[in-house]
Amino acid sequence: MASTSDSDKPSVSNVEENRRRLCEEFATVAGSDTAVAQCYLAENEWEMERALNSFFEADMEKVFDVEDSPETDSGPAPKRIKTETKPQEDCIDLTKGSPSTAQKPSEEDDGKLSLITWNVDGLDTDNLGERARGLCSYLVLYTPDIVFLQELIPPYVQYLKKRAVSYLIIEGGEEGYFTGMMLKKSRVKFEGSEIVTYPTTQMMRNLLVTQVTFKDQKLCLMTSHFESCRGHAEERMKQLRVVMQRMKDAPDDVAVLFGGDTNLRDPEVAKVGLPSTVSDVWERLGKQEHCRYTWDTKANSNKSVTYISRCRFDRVYLRPATKDGVPRLAPDHMALVGMEKLDCGRYTSDHWGIYCSFSVG
């Protein structure tokens, strides 16, 4: 009888191995160490989503206090997918550029659509104020019409609202960490947005969808941060299917652009497959080697890890409008951004950002 009862119990080694795996996944998502992960998971009965929610309930509003204390916004936190059309009087636009550095785009470039997508690693709060200023400096340099951001936290968003007032900011979450979009007010007209939930995510992930117009061209913009860690491939592929279906089903007079930190591996994309109308922009531009790896611990030292990992986690997908007579969006350039160290000795993020430009014709 005793042996039968013992066989019904999970082995100690299996329980320990499962909990070790959960700690590693929590640490990866939260940017913490495994000791912190173990505390939060144990307090939440080893349920990943509950533990992450508990972790992100911690007050992170002090992240920018040292550098921005005179301008701290003490008002209530805004609801997500809220847009601000009027800058506060004490705002200084770090994305506007000075008269000596600002250059008027050529007539050819002025007709192109430009985009940056970037996981800014807001969960890493070390040097976050300086790294946020680093992001703004790249916005000055590239003047993108559209910016997709992942791993934002509330204080980072508040900083951008004060320092990037030439952009309209749309937030894709309620609390913790989330995605966002920035639209250049002088070039892109905001029409509306929505958040699409991923029903089985364990890491608070969703899809932010925004409708805009650019030079009379209707655009559907999408950004997301797919499930992290190798062990969550099935969930990640579910999320890719959601995105691809929405791209495929968009009206034929609308061009669709998706960009984000997908955490995808090539075999996962091959297993899901892309609709015939959707293309991977990096592949379409010839698979240029210098743009391949957006997560590269060999070149990026922000995480201070001992192993080398080089992956194309961050991707851009395009589905042009297909209706006759509607201008077609086509990619013509891609580059990685954020590859210069800041004065603090770190990079803007542990990911490189992707800059793309598109012709409209």
| Residues with active-site annotation | 261
Which of 333, 329, 331, 334 is closest to 360 using CA atoms?
Answer: 329
- DSSP string for 109-148: HHTSEEEEEEE--TT--TTHHHHHHHHHHHHHHH--SEEE
- Stated as kind and residue range, the H or E segment containing 258 is strand 254-261
Which of 198, 194, 256, 195 is closest to 232 using CA atoms?
Answer: 198
- Cα 226 from Cα 312, distance rounded (Å): 13
Phi, psi angles (nearest 5°) of residue 218: -80, 130
Bridge partner residues of 178 (DSSP): 152
- Cα 356 from Cα 140, distance rounded (Å): 15
Residue at 338: amino acid letter: G
CB 115 within 8 A of CB 356: yes
